[in-house]
Structure 1
């Protein structure tokens, strides 16, 4: 796993999905000028050998240690969300916040979700993503309006409503 840090401030790691690559986050990175961002290519991409969730988490942990970054906010999309969850379970001391975007996580038993959210400060840090969603969503949706998400993603509280299940 490799990648270069950009910017300064709060360290945030953006983990891409499958298929995908670090460049999937280019537009998001542009919206975070006050954040120190790392968007690495996960194992199995950019010519590196593939790995499972635990292997990805181990390599990410080693990358953070090698760059001297102690704690990060993890943002995981799709398969990258599974890596982020595994990172919280295996290396909680390196995680200060978690944001999952259309995340996979079915290989993690629901009973382990309690372990994830029990990490000190993680529930509060993760709530920041929900609070910020109404402010950020219109800009992101404007760029992806052709995908049928305009209105739904930009609606305040959509994330919380989605967590409760489909509307009846």
Structure 2
């Protein structure tokens, strides 16, 4: 008799796109977060784990209409357009109005490693939705970012979300701890 099947992980990269990352408001530790995400892409690629990248888009005629320069993934992001899945979304929750959940189920993914930006919007919404949909979200504490706001620094936003999401919604890990099967 076979034992339980190992969990299959996928990597979801959220909104690491030109218009957000290179905006006048600088992402907190942006270069390090990008390096950490690229390290995770390498780990996932070495074992053949699915890699998905979401781009936030807006309505036609807006600066972030689908296909606009601001919605393009960062050139330094190690995404392979031929091997990885890149998809557009219009809401903070990467699942809403997309085929993400179906694609993950079709690939037998149980655990979803979530990275990217912005912490208090798309990262938060996607972590909560993933848990609600029955996936086991893993948030990489040092691979998501945001910008300072008039009320809170980006570091406080990140720290708050790492603490709040850990346990009820996600399992929190560092880039160094995160592995793919």
What's the TM-score once normalised by structure 2's chain length? 0.43
- Larger strand percent: 2
- Larger helix percent: 1
What's the TM-score once normalised by structure 1's chain length? 0.46
